Structure 1
Amino acid sequence: MNSKETKKIAAQDKIPSIQKFIYGLGAFVNNLLGAAIGGMLIVLNLGLGMNPALVGLLGALPRLTDALTDPLMGYISDHSKTKWGRRRPYIFFGAIAAGIVFALLWQVPRDQSESFYFWFFLIGSVVFYLAYTVFATPWVALGYELTPDYHERTSLMAVQNFMGQIAWLTAPWFLWFMQSDLLFDDMIEGAGWLAIIIGAFTICVGILPAIFLKEPLSKSAVDKQINSDDNEVASAPKVKKEEFPVGIGDFFKGFLATIKFKPFLRLCAATFLVFNGFMMVSSFQTYVIIYYVFGGDQALGAEYAGWSGTVSAISTFCVIFIVTKLSASLGKRRAFYTVTGISMLGYALKWVCYNPDYPLLLLLPPVLIAFGLGGLFTLMGSMVADVCDFDELKTHERREGMFGSIYWWVVKLGMAVALAAGGILLNVTGFDVALGGEQTADTIFLMRLFDVVIPIVTSAIAIWMLKGYPITEEKAHEVRQELEARKQR
């Protein structure tokens, strides 16, 4: 077949637009929860006066548990057999649990010690992330099963990526909402009501994929697995399939094989660096805007920070389409170099555009910075899919679930490390919330310096990491041909 011909999608493989939309709602809920739990932590410092380093730890420590729970949840979901499917029960009850726990987490008792607040939020956050994992991991897996067609899967992922970005349009306004004098007595009360709204939305919308989507491949996949298991053990000593140690052995075998695959590790490292650099200064820049650009005016600073985030989200929508074109013309790796370089220019512009005399200029850098994350999550998903093919060629196994869970754990790890490091860096600058707009000149300088330099350095290292990535367009085509030929033998 001519390489320029487009394979027509079979009617039975097409996903109706309404089902793509419903799956995309899961992306909106997923991103909204991720943005909320990170963005609302600033309340612990500005509202409760907690040490920024402790606030950073509260953002980091619960996410480290995902190193085990994410792959384990994927494994459990893969091996579940219910009349409702392997994914949908977890999505349904996970959304309800995550919504309830998140709402309760921010009903903060008043007049308690810093130690009490630390343990209150640490324990509550761990419980929340467990519920979050029960929802999110099977939801991601469900997307792989909605159609067997390669191009229709791409269409589905484009819809969910686009809808997931909508969450970032609302997230920048959380701080403005929580400290609104017209609505609440203080920021703590505002956080409590915002958490209730987000929790209720999570429950009402998060259960929709479980209710209205089907798992067209799940039954046949389970039947095939059962038949395969029966054939394999026919001549072996009889062992109960539900015996737990067998599952544990399979889990760790697949886990270790995945984390040893070098092309995949390069993608994980590049993602960690780009995302970590962005997240480390994402809350940091709010302090720069409030205390440098607006001299400590929290209300005005929060409003402009909200507009900056909105501009960034809108720009990311556009970037998704631009990156797709760049990838087709330059290849995925060179497209990554290009968009990451543009984002580095955006970070550098902060030094000039964060100007107390011209505050509107701070809306310019987000337009360029959006190329970083917009390009990252448009390109990396496609590159991980190429890695799965390359891995199959070498191992004769398909491990999309394990690759996906580990990759997204790296993203979460980047957020955890960034939140912890951000709090430490804020302490290093000498920032004192009690001083308000009277921060020292050295503090303001270090805040601005970290805000600009750190993401530039991490992005540059990410570009260097991908120089050794071996899967070019030509190599991916060769791998695909060999896999197809193997199926015919």
Structure 2
Amino acid sequence: MQKISWREKIGYGIGATGLDLSYGLFYSYLSIYLTNVLGIKSAFLLILAPLARIWDGVNDPMMGAIVDRTNTKFGKRRPWILIGAASNAIVLAFLFNASRFVSGGTALYVYAAAFYVLWGMTNTLADIPYWSMVPSFTSDEKERNLISTVARTFSGLGQGIIALFTPIALKKISAQADGSPSAQGFGTVSVIAAVFLVVFAFVSVTFTKERRIVKSEEGFSFKKALSNITGNRQLLVFMLFAMISNAGFYMISGVSSYYFAVVKGDIALQSTFNLFNTVGSVLAILVVPVFSKFMSNRNIYIFCLSSAIFGYIGMAVCGLALNTGVIPLGVFYFIASIGTGSMFVNQTIMLSDVVDYGEYTTGKRNEALTFSMKGFLQKMAYTFQSIIMYATFIATGYDDFTQSANAVASAAAQRGISLLMFAVPPVMMALSLIIFIRKYKVHGALKAEIIEAINKKYADDKPVG
């Protein structure tokens, strides 16, 4: 069995912490920053999100193909991780400091749109080469599970830091008179996150070696990239069920800031709520390595989604029917977070298996191109969540609250936020579980056959770095 040292595993995982400081701030707090702080209308954001995804549909596979064609003495992935982290850090800081450079009007909308798109592009520069390293380490299932678990643990740490400390920081750093977050608070948090993003990326590439460096000789064309993606049927299945479940997760992480700031009237409560998520996510790291001793990855994934569904239903009962405080909500969020935390670990493992499946069936090992779909499906999941959220805001008149001096949002707007928070996520998770059970085939005898073939092919492989 090909063993990877703990020094390298931890060094690799540290990079995920930095990436997810940026990722967590963007996906969990950008929306409330744009609507409540900058006053940008929901209708504009409803249009912006899908338009940005059209460009990502070209940019993400193009970047994956570029990484697959890269060949330097430092490897093909590590240089891009550094370039991507540095550029994403700059864009993140500019995005959340918009009020320092533009005052409003058309210029604000253009600025926000430009840096919104640039964030996605620069995140892709680092995210694709980073996660495409997972299948290159080893084909051994237990070792791959462990590497994915370590990386996802550090990834969860990055998101946990953002989730726990951002609400408190926003309230402490020059909050508005009514306690709502200010532009200065968001700007300060973004600069801190940007600095650590670069530092952690440097640490990661320093301690990590690259293996199975197979340079693609094909020049990039969108037609070829699309053909390689559609030719891997299990990749398409994976993208579908993962996008739906991820959208359910993003719905809570994206709407919870609105729920506690607007419905409950105190965004600092979100920190307490997120504490349950963080603890659950930490415990989730044990699920895959412990359960894999007596369960297949397929059954573990079913357990993950089932736990998330149960937790989300409990949250719905507490939030919609009983209108409880933050602690009962947090208890069920803790249960759901064990499910979603281990779900993300398992998705990384499955995507690595899909890389092997693609090589087994087509003869082409498109690691970076395949893993570009991970970032793209996450963006699509966020877009799916955003469309539902902004459409609800428009339908319930939420903009009337953000565009006026009203201290309290309307009952319809508050009800809409509550439904987004509690009713939508369990439905999405249940739909994702059904698709996974019926359509995903890389398990059992087929998976064992694939692993045997891949191990024979790379028996004489040497690490680089």
TM-score by length of 2: 0.85
CA RMSD of aligned residues (A): 3.1
Percent of matched pairs sharing the same residue: 21
Cα 1:397–1:209 change in 2 (3 A) is: same
- CA distance 1:387–1:39, change in 2 (3 Å): closer
8 Å Cα contact 1:26/1:205 also seen in 2: yes
Q: CA deviation at 1:275?
A: 0.7
Give the corresponding residue for 1:346: 311
Q: Of the candidates 163, 166, 176, which is equivalent to residue 168 of structure 2?
A: 176
Task: Give 1:162 deviation, angstroms.
Answer: 0.9
| Residues 277 and 259 of structure 1: CA distance in aligned 2, closer, same or farther (over 3 Å) | same
Partner of 1:247: 219
CA contact (8 A) 2:148 2:345 kept: no
Q: Deviations over 1:1-29 (max 9, x none)?
A: xxxxxx4x4xxxx4332322221111111
Most deviating of 330-339 and 169-178: 330-339
Q: Given residue 353 of structure 1, which amino acid in structure 2 is its aligned partner?
A: C
2:88–2:122 Cα contact (<8 Å) kept: yes
Partner of residue 250, structure 2: 279
The reply on whether 1:471 has 2:442 as its aligned counterpart is: yes
Aligned to 1:322: 287
Offset of 1:182 from its aligned partner?
5.8
Check if 1:190 corresponds to 2:182.
no
The offset of 1:149, in angstroms, is 6.0
Quote the residue 1:308 is aligned against.
273
Cα–Cα, structure 1 residues 181 and 478, in superposed 2: closer, same or farther, change >3 Å? closer
Structure 1 window deviating more from structure 2 (57-66 vs 31-40): it is 57-66
1:288-330 deviation per Cα after TM superposition (whole angstroms, max 9, x unaligned)? 33343x3xx2xxx211112212211220121232244445544
Distance 1:359 1:143, change over 3 A: closer
Give the AA of the match of 1:19. Answer: E
Distance 1:128 1:196 in 2: 14
Q: Which amino acid is 2:432 matched to?
A: A
Runs of 5+ in structure 2 lacking a partner?
A: 460-465
Question: Does residue 201 of the first structure (1) align with residue 196 of the second (2)?
Answer: yes
State the Cα distance separating 1:465 from its structure 2 match: 1.0
1:446 aligned to 416, 428, 435, which one? 416
Residue 146 of structure 2: aligned partner: 155
- CA 393–136 in structure 1, closer or farther in 2 if over 3 Å, else same: closer
Superposition pairs of residues 251-270 of structure 1, within 5 angstroms: 252-270=223-241
Change (3 A) 1:82 1:308: same
Post-superposition shift, 1:55? 3.8
> Deviation of residue 455 (structure 1)?
1.4
For the structure 1 residues 282 and 214, does the alpha-carbon distance in structure 2 shift closer, same or farther, using more than 3 Å as the test?
closer
Judge conservation of contact 1:291–1:437 (CA < 8 Å) in 2: no
Change (3 A) 1:94 1:257: closer
Q: CA 1:65/1:451 → structure 2, altered by over 3 Å: closer, same or farther?
A: same
Aligned position for 1:20: 9
Q: In the alignment, what sits opposite 1:49?
A: 39
The 1:210–1:394 alpha-carbon spacing in structure 2 relative to 1, beyond 3 Å, is closer
Say whether the 8 Å CA contact 2:247–2:384 is kept in structure 1. Answer: yes
CA distance in 2, matches of 1:322, 1:117: 45
Q: Superposed, which structure 2 residues align to 1:44-83 within 5 Å?
A: 44-58=34-48, 61-83=51-73
Equivalent residue for 1:333, pick from 298, 301, 308: 298
Tell me what 1:422 maps to.
Answer: 389
- Give the structure, 1 or 2, with the largest relative contact order (CA under 8 Å, sep 6 or more): 2
Aligned to 1:368: 335
**CA distance, structure 2, for counterparts of residue 487 and residue 374 of structure 1:** 32
Which residue of 411, 415, 426 maps to 1:456? 426
Q: Distance in 2 between matches of 1:96 and 1:89?
A: 11
2:115 maps to amino acid: G
Deviation at 1:75, TM superposition (A): 1.7
Amino acid at match of 1:390: Y
Letter in 2 for 1:406: M
Q: Distance in 1 between matches of 2:295 and 2:258?
A: 38
Indicate the structure (1 or 2) with the bigger Cα radius of gyration: 1
Distance 1:291-1:91 versus aligned 2 partners, 3 A rule: closer
Describe the SS at the equivalent of 2:419.
Answer: helix
**Structure 1 unaligned runs (5+)?**
1-6, 230-245
AA in 1 matched with 2:18 = V
* More displaced 10-residue stretch of structure 1: 117-126 or 323-332: 323-332
Deviation by residue 1:106-133 (Cα, 9 ceiling, x = unmatched): 2223683343222111112222332222
Matched, 1:122 2:113: yes
Q: Equivalent residue of 1:333, what SS?
A: helix
Aligned partner of 1:383 in structure 2 is 350
Whether the 8 Å contact between 2:284 and 2:339 is mirrored in structure 1 is no
Distance in 2 (CA, whole Å) between partners of 1:93 and 1:383 is 27
Does 93-102 or 356-365 show the bigger shift?
356-365
| Cα distance in structure 2, aligned partners of 1:133 and 1:312 | 26
Partners of 1:114 and 1:280 lie apart in 2 by 29
Hey, what's the Cα distance between the residues in 1 that align with 2:23 and 2:458?
A: 40
Give a deviation string over 1:98-156, Cα, whole Å, max 9, x none. Answer: 22222223222368334322211111222233222222222223444456766544432
Secondary structure of residue in 2 paired with 1:117 = helix
Amino acid at match of 1:205: F
Structure 1 counterpart of 2:369, from 402, 412, 420: 402
Q: Secondary structure at the match of 2:227?
A: helix
- Cα deviation, residue 161, structure 1: 1.2
* Conservation of the 8 A alpha-carbon contact between 1:255 and 1:402: no
**Per-residue Cα deviation, 1:434-459 (whole angstroms, up to 9, x for no partner):** 47564443433333233222112212
Higher mean C-alpha deviation, range 356-365 or range 323-332: 323-332
Contact 1:343–1:368, Cα closer than 8 Å, also in 2: yes
Using the size of structure 1 for normalisation, the TM-score is: 0.81
Which residue identity lines up with residue 282 of structure 2 in the other structure?
F
The equivalent residue for 2:463 is none
Deviation at 1:375, TM superposition (A): 3.2
Aligned residues: 447
Output the CA distance in 2 between the equivalents of 1:367 and 1:314: 7
- Asked if structure 1 preserves the Cα contact closer than 8 Å seen for 2:174 and 2:185, the reply is no
Relative distance call for 1:126 and 1:39 in structure 2 (3 A) is: same
Change (3 A) 1:76 1:36: same
Find the residue that maps to 1:421 and give its secondary structure.
helix
The question of whether the paired residues in 1 share the 8 Å contact of 2:61 and 2:225 is answered with no
